[in-house]
Amino acid sequence: MPFRDLLNKAVWAAIYLLFILAPLFALLAGRLPPSRDFGTEFSVAIGYSGLAMMGLQFGLTARFRYVTEPWGEDVIYHFHRRISLLAVGLVVTHPLILFAIGSNKLAMPESIRDVPWGARFAMLSICSLIALVVMALWRTKLRIRYEIWHLTHIVLAVVAVAAGMLHMAGWGFYLIDPWKRALWIGMTVFWIGLLLYVRIFKPLFMLRRPYRVAGLRTERGDTATLVMRPDGHPGFRFKPGQFGWLTLWGSPFRITGHPFSFSSSAEAADGRVEMTIRNLGDFTSAIPKVAVGQRVYLDGPYGAFTIGHPADMHVLIAGGIGITPMMSMILTLADRGDKRPLILLYGGKDWESLTFREELEAQKARLDLTIVYVLSNPPEGWTGERGRITADVFRRHLPPRYADHEYFICGPNVMMDAIEAALGQMQVPISKYHSERYSFV
């Protein structure tokens, strides 16, 4: 990994820790309240930390390119999901510790009307967090539409953070100094400002730079390709393997954007971009009905899953619809006249469902391209690879010195986990392979 990328990652990791720890340490400066027992102080510390981590989630999902570029958008979103669970755990543990040590702070008054308003906001914050986690982890099982879940997710997050701040202000034990109150209020304003940036200011920019659907192609595997051109502006340049957030219906202010990889060449001179989308039974089933000339909106490009690393050859490993960023890489390398060997290992269910099958074969005339199809349900008489892509498949089709090649992996999570484990068995260093996990939620 280049030193510049390592430095960028280290800087942003340090900034993230600073935003979490600095407010906590600031509470220990200036005037201090009377000391209390360890359990109470520890409970308060993890509560403050959890709240700070919750607020920073607005920043992680704000799609700042200079923040996401070193890591990749998919890594940021998966980190967001895991760190959110940790933050929720800290916040919920805060009252549990107080309960365990028998703190008088949890003593219930005789009447519900006598409950301090700070305690009421604490309950509101915790209930919002629990609802947020349940809907995030079990959205599919609960059959909640993505758009409804997304809006609810945002509302619950804002309520949880705002109620948490009001809970802090209600007790005010550590916020006796005005500057400490101003610090936490300022942080809350900053967090909400990040949300407003994503939901208001960025859509305003997108509204001035729309795209038009210039074509629609039906592909194999119940898949369709949208061809889009910029409408009244030059568009943006992307790197092969990157993706964008597509809003097909309505304005960019609506919560209807979905992430899709670009499947076209990054060398297109007219700003044209293509996205290839498989019918998954949700809103994607309406893609074939999109009319040519329809106005759409694109927010991008994003992602660090892209070629450009020094290597003797590229090895692309795709499963299912994970072929879309690989197609962009192949077309881009062909347009650039790249002469390095290129091997594509393409796993699919059956022969007829392999998206881009004919287009891939056509690129052999422009590239030193080898394609290895691996089918889990091959047709009668199939002489190619069967089952799954494994270390044995790699050894049969890749030249030795495996650690010299650059690997790109995209497909279902189970497949990607197995391939990363296989590359580890082959002594390929982790810096030589790159993964794109396209399931963000």
Tens-binned pLDDT, residue by residue, of the chain (441 aa): 555 666 767 777 787 787 777 777 776 776 766 777 788 888 888 888 888 888 878 777 767 766 666 666 667 777 878 888 888 898 889 888 888 887 766 655 556 666 677 788 888 999 999 999 888 888 888 888 877 888 898 889 889 988 888 887 777 666 777 777 787 778 778 878 887 888 888 888 889 999 999 999 999 999 999 999 999 999 999 999 999 999 988 888 877 778 899 999 999 888 899 999 999 877 888 898 899 999 999 998 988 888 877 676 789 999 989 999 999 999 999 999 988 899 999 999 999 999 999 999 999 999 999 999 999 999 998 999 999 999 999 999 998 888 888 999 999 888 888 999 999 889 998 888 888 776 554
What does the alpha-carbon distance between residue 291 and residue 405 come to, in Å, rounded to a whole number? 42
- In the structure encoding, which two tokens stand for residue 67, read together? 């923040």
Domain ranges (residues) in the chain: 3-206, 211-302, 314-436
Question: In this structure, what is the dihedral angle of CA atoms 143, 144, 147, 150, given to the nearest 10 degrees?
Answer: -130
Comparing CA positions, the residue from 323, 306, 335, 408 lying closest to residue 360 is 323
SS3 of 229, please? Answer: strand
What does the alpha-carbon distance between residue 371 and residue 363 come to, in Å, rounded to a whole number? 10
Residue 350's CB is within 10 A of a number of other CB atoms, namely 13
Question: In this structure, what is the dihedral angle of CA atoms 63, 237, 405, 348, given to the nearest 10 degrees?
Answer: 80
Class of the CATH-defined domain 314-436: alpha beta
Residue pLDDT, tens place only, 270-327: 889 999 999 987 788 889 889 999 999 999 898 888 887 767 678 999 998 999 999 9
What does the alpha-carbon distance between residue 105 and residue 352 come to, in Å, rounded to a whole number? 66
What does the alpha-carbon distance between residue 274 and residue 247 come to, in Å, rounded to a whole number? 14
317 and 388 in contact (C-beta within 8 Å)? Answer: no
Superfamily of domain 211-302: Translation factors (2.40.30.10)
Residue pLDDT, tens place only, 75-122: 777 787 888 888 889 888 988 888 888 776 665 555 666 667 778 888
What does the alpha-carbon distance between residue 243 and residue 245 come to, in Å, rounded to a whole number? 7
- In the structure encoding, which two tokens stand for residue 115, read together? 């409950």
Comparing CA positions, the residue from 420, 263, 238 lying closest to residue 326 is 263
